[in-house]
Structure 1
Amino acid sequence: MEDIQISVVVPTYKRPVLLKACLKSVVNQTLEKHQFEIIIVSDGPDEESEKVVVQELKEGAPAIRFLSLPNKSGPAAARNLGWKSASGTIIAFTDDDCLPDKNWLKNIVSRYNGQKEIAFTGRVIVPVSKQPTDFELNTKGLETGEFVTANCAVTKATLQTVGGFDEAFKAAWREDSDLHFKLIEWGIAIEKLDEAIVVHPVRKAPWAISLREQKKTQFNALLYKKHPSLYRQRIKSSPSWNYYFIILFFVVLLLGSLLEISWLMSIGLSGWFLLSTAFAFKRLRVSRKTVSHIFEMIVTSIIIPFLSVYWTLRGAVKYRVLFF
């Protein structure tokens, strides 16, 4: 194992079709096979993913290991198990729904000059349809992310210094930003590596997926608690006040209805309707205009402010931080 320069860590959980495509892309790297290893880490018991790895080994793939967490603990915990078990000096991270370019690892290794502590952030390409959905556009935001685990590489020594990923981030949300901010706070160099490319296809999403996604916003509070200044500088400069005003006007509408005060009802209804309509229009302005998608945007735009604020405040309470 002494020849291994770079270890690829891929967290997964019961997505064998996606994992198989990702694994094929990593296996077919142009970097010499003896120079890298692949570590697939399942976020809990997962026979389907293990079968994918076993099949690749039967087909003569390079060094691949399958590891599994005893219980579902999130991608941050899976990645920690992966890099701590790795033999390479450099740890490259990608996700099971990604397709690394064939020269991905070669370009990372070529840029590395033996530094003990350094990180690289590669280029992510998200192909979308000519008339993208709101979900496609949200996923496409990965292309402009400063540091995402879909495509980054960090020396093992660096991960040991900063403590790896914070396993308190139980979902695939903000754990990469937390690592990014720790690298900045520790003064560790982060080099942009545009030639190291990973393609991130947009997976098929169920109707109203944006409602389910709101649960992740609770982890914004944790990231803010740990890195308040960097959060405001790099993530969101101010709270989503429009959501709070939408809710405020809705409460005014309810009060006016309960108290049978017509002018109060009118103020509440007008404010809620105008702000909700503006929110829906903003999402639709750049996304698909089919009847189904328009209806989805209208319905979810009415509900999202309430869910987002709920999960935001729940995160603030859970992590004991003043965060809106």
Structure 2
Amino acid sequence: MRQATPPSSPVVAVVVPTYRRADLLDRCLGALCAQTLPSSQYEIIVCDDGPDEVMRETVLRHARRPGAPALAYLPVTATQGPAGARNAGWRATQAPIIAFTDDDTVPRPDWLAAGLAAMRPGVDAVAGAIVMPIPPNPSDYELDASHLQEAEFATANCLVRRAALDAVGGFDTRYGMAWREDSDLQFALLEGGYDIERAPAAIVEHPLRPAPYAVALRAQRKVRYDTLLYKKYPRLYRERIRRGPPWHYLSICALLAVVVLALAAGQRGLAVAAGLGWLVLTARFFLRRIRPTRKDLPHLVETLITSIAIPPLSIYWRIVGSLAYRAGFP
């Protein structure tokens, strides 16, 4: 489904991957259709990673609005994950510049105009600003999520020349979740000699979504993609993501292993010593996480539980990724 093509080809195509979040997509499309950039100069391509009639109708409703830009609904079935969905989107357009955002963002009215203004001759990509409001007394989840505002390059807000995307092959579809696929593209562009600039005036708001209990544990699955990124770009990974292995987590896991082995061998004294070491390191991890966040009892309990479980889960998923991608330990 697509509106009639406007007389002039669009200068920029906005690619929005989505997956069964019609309410969020509706909000995002409302903001995208209200851009100050003339509607004839841009198009919107919604890449549905879980093709659904409700999602298609959401796009169609916005496409019918008077003065709306051209909108396309693109069902994606060949891959799974936002990386593959974005590839399907930018390859479906001939626009020379591709803007990426997510279905849970709210681009400000001048987002596209400001982003295009930053795409000066010789600039191959720009990273816009992400605003993620959090409460004054945040939870650990809210504080952690807000670090997206500090990202060097995030697909929630960036513009890339189509020629550069063609040259580097777009996104690596092995990133099956929304994690590190944007850094992978950034590193591919940097290694290809392409120029990436900041566009602080191009702003998208990224409201926090409600999260399930102990969401930090589920998030550890994403760590396996760190190993893929490290395998492909070890130098840039060490410079921009992590300078070395997570020694704190490794120390906690090593002490746990000593406790188990010592008990199995009947070495009670060694098990107690290792257990005390584990307790001290885990307590330090808990206190570091809880210090800048709220202190109500439910949140304290949740943070304690996740502080105990995160280190072994994180190391487990690093090992899974290292084996799956035959990579080193990031």
Which range, TM-score by smaller chain?
A: over 0.9
Counterpart in the other structure of 1:70: 77
Q: Does 1:107 align with 2:114?
A: yes
Q: What does residue range 15-26 of structure 1 map to in structure 2 within 5 Å?
A: 15-26=21-32
Amino acid at match of 1:131: N
Distance 2:95 2:298 in 1: 48
Q: TM-score, normalised by structure 1?
A: 0.97
Q: TM-score, normalised by structure 2?
A: 0.95
Deviation at 1:302, TM superposition (A): 0.5
What value does the CA root-mean-square deviation take over the aligned residues?
1.3
* Counterpart contact for 1:34–1:62, Cα < 8 Å: yes
Q: What does residue range 49-88 of structure 1 map to in structure 2 within 5 Å?
A: 49-60=55-66, 61-71=68-78, 73-88=80-95
Distance 1:100 1:284 in 2: 32
Deviation at 1:111, TM superposition (A): 2.8
Counterpart in the other structure of 1:252: 258
Q: Which runs of 4+ in 1 moved over 4 A?
A: none
Distance 1:213 1:49 in 2: 26
* 2:328 match: secondary structure: coil
Distance 1:118 1:258 in 2: 59
Q: Does 1:177 align with 2:183?
A: yes
When structure 1 is superposed on structure 2, of 300-309 and 245-254 the one drifting more is: 245-254
Distance 1:109 1:181 in 2: 22
Amino acid at match of 2:235: S
Counterpart in the other structure of 2:96: 89
Q: How many residue pairs were aligned?
A: 323
Q: Does 1:307 align with 2:313?
A: yes
Given candidates 154, 168, 174, the residue that maps to 1:168 is: 174
Deviation at 1:261, TM superposition (A): 2.3
* Counterpart contact for 1:121–1:148, Cα < 8 Å: yes
Distance 2:254 2:119 in 1: 53
Distance 2:126 2:312 in 1: 38
* 1:193 match: secondary structure: strand
Distance 2:58 2:210 in 1: 21
Deviation at 1:72, TM superposition (A): 5.1
Counterpart in the other structure of 1:144: 150
* 2:46 match: secondary structure: strand
* Counterpart contact for 1:44–1:71, Cα < 8 Å: no
Q: Over residues 122-155 of structure 1, what are the superposed CA-to-partner deviations in whole Å (9 max), with x where a residue is unaligned?
A: 1111100111111111111111110000100001
Amino acid at match of 2:271: M
* Counterpart contact for 2:15–2:99, Cα < 8 Å: yes
* Counterpart contact for 2:230–2:328, Cα < 8 Å: no
Given candidates 199, 204, 218, the residue that maps to 1:198 is: 204
Distance 1:59 1:37 in 2: 14
Q: Does 1:10 align with 2:10?
A: no
Amino acid at match of 1:82: G
Q: Over residues 253-276 of structure 1, what are the superposed CA-to-partner deviations in whole Å (9 max), with x where a residue is unaligned?
A: 222323332211211110110111
* Counterpart contact for 2:12–2:95, Cα < 8 Å: yes
* Counterpart contact for 2:20–2:50, Cα < 8 Å: no
Distance 1:312 1:47 in 2: 38
* 1:289 match: secondary structure: coil
Distance 2:133 2:78 in 1: 34
Q: Over residues 191-242 of structure 1, what are the superposed CA-to-partner deviations in whole Å (9 max), with x where a residue is unaligned?
A: 1110000111110001100000000100000000000000000000011111
* Counterpart contact for 1:16–1:49, Cα < 8 Å: yes
* Counterpart contact for 1:119–1:155, Cα < 8 Å: yes
Counterpart in the other structure of 2:129: 123
Deviation at 1:114, TM superposition (A): 4.7
Given candidates 285, 289, 295, the residue that maps to 1:283 is: 289
Amino acid at match of 2:80: S
Amino acid at match of 2:97: I
Amino acid at match of 1:16: A
Amino acid at match of 1:205: A
